[in-house]
């Protein structure tokens, strides 16, 4: 026997309405893979790796003998960053309504550059407003430590010197690092693509989540 409780029916109805709204919005935006994703993959530089119902995305490419991975999570879209501007005296400048209604999404990225028998660089950065802001650059003689998430790998990383904060480096070294990354196509174009792709994937996953929850509640 199936029981239908009042709250269940109400929730199922609201979920169905939200599903309908999201699907109509998706149809207006255009179904299928958006043009910006097609253009990105058509360039043949980066390969996009992601799975349905997972929030992690990896962009992978080869550069000479290097294997480069840029990993990020669409979960960062849940925490938009407030962009504050200040005058010469350090007082915050009031923002207009357009600025506050369009939050800037800062997507944290884990960048690894692996060379055979040479180890790996692990770079923590944030893709925001068409640029990468590097936080830290670490070197691992054992390249697996740059990517493995196992308890053993985590234990081995403990106590290792991971390098200084990026903004503590000499300005000339910072600029050279930025050129090093840009030469590997880790620059403005990629920093603009990542938040846009994350937003598109998050919208797809959200609609699927609504459908799964609706199916469960209605069962």
Tokens 């958006």 sit on residue: 34
Is the pLDDT at 1 greater than 50, yes or no?
no
Stated length of the chain: 219
- Reported confidence tier of residue 109, pLDDT bands at 50, 70, 90: very high
HEC assignment per residue over 31-64:
CCCCHHHHHHHHCCCCEEEECCCCCEEEEEEEEC
Q: Is 8 helix (H, G, I), strand (E, B) or coil?
A: helix
Residue partners of 25: CB distance under 8 A and separation at least 6: none
For 127-143, write each residue's pLDDT tens digit: 999 999 999 999 988 88
Is the pLDDT at 103 greater than 80, yes or no?
no
Tokens 């360039």 sit on residue: 43
How much of the chain exceeds pLDDT 90, in percent?
59
69-79 burial code (b ≥16 CB/10 A, e <16): bbbbbbebbee
**CA distances from residue 137 to 125, 155, 167, 191, 219 in whole angstroms, order as listed:** 9, 19, 11, 18, 50
HEC assignment per residue over 177-197:
HHHHHHHCCCCHHHHHHHHHH
Is the pLDDT at 79 greater than 70, yes or no?
no
Is the pLDDT at 30 greater than 80, yes or no?
no
Measured distance CA(194)–CA(162) in Å, rounded: 25
Is the pLDDT at 99 greater than 50, yes or no?
no
Torsions phi, psi of 200, nearest 5? -65, -45
- Reported confidence tier of residue 90, pLDDT bands at 50, 70, 90: low
Is the pLDDT at 85 greater than 70, yes or no?
no
Query: For the ranges 17-31, 46-60, 164-178, which has the lowest average pLDDT?
Result: 17-31
Q: Of 216, 211, 217, whose CA–CA distance to 17 is shortest? A: 211
Q: Is 151 helix (H, G, I), strand (E, B) or coil?
A: helix
Q: Of 101, 73, 61, whose CA–CA distance to 189 is shortest? A: 61
Tokens of 8: 């269940």
């Amino acid at each position: 026997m199936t029981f239908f409780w009042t709250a269940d029916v109400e929730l199922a109805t609201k979920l169905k309405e939200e599903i309908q709204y999201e699907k109509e919005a998706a149809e207006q935006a255009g179904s299928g893979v958006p043009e910006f994703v097609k253009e990105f993959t058509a360039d043949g530089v980066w390969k996009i790796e992601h799975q349905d119902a997972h929030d992690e995305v990896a962009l992978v490419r080869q550069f000479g003998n290097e294997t480069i991975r840029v990993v990020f999570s669409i979960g960062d879209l849940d925490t938009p960053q407030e962009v504050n501007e200040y005058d010469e005296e350090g007082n915050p400048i009031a923002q207009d309504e357009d600025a506050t209604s369009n939050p800037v999404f800062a997507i944290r990225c884990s960048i690894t550059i692996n060379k055979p028998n040479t180890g790996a660089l692990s770079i923590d950065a944030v893709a925001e407003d068409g640029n990468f802001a590097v936080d830290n650059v670490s070197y691992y003689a054992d390249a697996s430590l740059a990517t493995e998430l196992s308890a053993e790998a985590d234990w081995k990383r403990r106590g290792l010197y991971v390098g200084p904060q990026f903004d503590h480096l000499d300005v000339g070294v910072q600029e050279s690092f930025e050129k090093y990354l840009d030469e590997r196509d880790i620059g403005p174009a990629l920093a603009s693509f990542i938040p846009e792709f994350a937003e598109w994937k998050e919208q797809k996953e959200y609609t699927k989540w609504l459908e799964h929850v609706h199916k469960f509640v209605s069962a």
